[in-house]
Structure 1
Amino acid sequence: MTEPTPAAPPPKPNPFVGPGILLVWLALGAWLIRQPSGAAVFAFVMVGWVLSVMVHEFSHAAVAWLGGDRTVTEKGYLSFDPRRYGDLGVSLVLPLLALAMGGVGFPGGAVYIRNDLIRNRPWRAAASLAGPAATLIVLLAIAFGLSFWAGWGVRAPGPVALFEALTVLGFLQAMGLILNLLPIPGLDGFGAIRPFLPAGLAPQIRKVEGLVMVGLLLVIFWVPGASAVLFRAAASLSLALGLDLDALQGGWRAFHFWQR
């Protein structure tokens, strides 16, 4: 994401936050194997989603650094500390609510990149596309890992629950990838074409990006059939990459354990 630097600085980066979140996720996976439950699936997927957002945003910052914006280092964007994102409410809280309430992998995270410091337009576009590329890598890693695991057989309740939870997490990566690549202001797909727009147009569009994102969220949740299109596209991509439909359905039911 490319925006002006926010006025209120986030907390100083802590190198232990990212590894700490990873350890929590691994502990939740162990808990899920020992005591499979819907609540455990929910917690595992939610924390896994946060980790995937961190990888996504790190990739934006890393490519921006390579392109010439060295301020991402002092801003803490390369520290895997999500507290460094510009607005935690928009970056994590709102997407997590969308995920919990509607199962929508809405884009989260916000690293503020200095486009004026990046050497040229292709590098600026690459910085925008680096996030979706990282999401795709996470999706492929989950899909290939589960495919290898399935070849060994998954029968016990605990491993089955973990398998299903990882399948849901992979599905959410597919959904987030599709959403992020839409050429809509505020999303990475638009960020990739922004550098090639007329110089006077981009600042005008930037002013309405927040409203556009809220509008997109409202469309997904309130316009009949809109979410179904998104879910079908994400399911098609997931199945094309080898994710198991039965595991996805089982994990989806477990993730929404309060609806049972």
Structure 2
Amino acid sequence: MPFVIISLVVGFTVHEFAHAYVAYRFGDHTAKDQGRLTLNPAQHLDPIGTILLLIAGFGWARPVPVQRSRFKNPKLAGILVSLAGPLSNFLVAFIAYALFFFFIGVSGFTVPSFIVNLLQMMVYLNVLLFVFNLIPVPPLDGYRVIEDLAPPHVRSKMSQYEQYGALIFIILVITPLGNYTIRPLLFNGISAVNQTFNSIFTAIYSLFS
């Protein structure tokens, strides 16, 4: 449980900071003005989500506020801001995998088991956050990307039905229907990312061995 909590707190914090930072770089100071341009977890964790994280091992963070009207190029900036969160989780997972691969496969050091377990959990949960947030269903980041790519008339229709999409998403998450929809996407996505990581570091290792 401690490894789950640490990994999720890191994942949530980096994810929301990445949204805030990219939005700030594109001209939207909203998140910065609200103290969200920081790696301090206390500024990003949602009270209820944090309580559930401590009790049940899962939770959520507070979404970073973004005002797309402040962007000079709203479509491009909106897409990059949306992608920044999941990509930050991908980066955290990549770094954790690199450390795990080095300690276990290369260095020959005797590493304490708690470090190995923490790195494994950090990889797994950040890959999970990466894949999960790219699912194109509201309110996830993948949906925001599709929304920004859509023509204006399609975007207006999407906004009208967004609340129903969010309801459908919740139903899929908490009911057995998820076994045939979201969970296969997560399983296949996580497997693909882990295989990619393994291939990259195996290739690097072969170059220097």
Q: Report the TM-score when normalising by structure 2.
A: 0.77
**2:134 match:** 181
Confirm or deny that 1:136 pairs with 2:95: no
Q: Is the 2:3–2:117 contact (alpha carbons within 8 Å) kept by the matching residues of 1?
A: no
- 2:167 aligns with 211
Which structure's relative contact order is higher, taking Cα pairs within 8 Å and 6+ residues apart? 1
Q: Which has the higher helix share?
A: 2
How far is the alpha carbon of 1:61 from its aligned partner? 0.6
Report how many residues are paired. 193
Tell me which residue corresponds to 2:107: 152
Q: Is the 8 A contact 2:44 2:61 kept in 1?
A: no
Q: Does 1:56 align with 2:45?
A: no
Counterpart CA distance in 2 for 1:146 and 1:57 is 25
1:195 to 136, 148, 160: 148
**Correspondence for 2:207:** none
Contact in 2 for aligned 1:86/1:112 (Cα 8 Å): no
1:187/1:229 CA distance change after superposition, 3 Å: closer
Fraction of identical pairs, as percent: 24
Match of 2:80 in 1: 126
Residue 109 of structure 1: how far off its partner (Å): 3.9
What does residue 100 of structure 1 align with?
A: 57
Q: Give the superposition deviation at 1:155.
A: 4.7
Unaligned runs of 5+ residues in structure 1 are 1-41, 244-260
Q: Is the 8 A contact 1:86 1:110 kept in 2?
A: no
Distance in structure 2 (CA, Å) of the matches to 1:154 and 1:242: 20
- Residue 125 of structure 2, aligned match among 159, 162, 172: 172
Query: Residue 88 in 1 paired to residue 38 in 2?
Result: no
CA–CA distance in structure 2, aligned partners of residues 97 and 228 of structure 1: 27
User: Paired residue for 1:246?
Assistant: none
- Give the aligned CA root-mean-square deviation in angstroms: 2.9
- State the distance in 1 between where 2:133 and 2:161 align: 17
Q: Does 1:161 align with 2:114?
A: yes
Pick the aligned partner of 2:35 from 70, 73, 76: 76
Separation of aligned partners in 1, 2:179 and 2:81: 34
Of 224-233 and 165-174, more deviation after overlay is shown by: 224-233
C-alpha change, 1:107 and 1:233, in structure 2 (3 Å) is farther
Helix, strand or coil for the counterpart of 1:207?
helix
CA offset at residue 85 of structure 1?
4.3
* Equivalent residue number for residue 197 of structure 2: 241
Partners of 2:68 and 2:161 lie apart in 1 by 15
**Letter of the structure 2 residue corresponding to residue 169 of structure 1:** M
| Secondary structure, aligned partner of 2:57 | helix
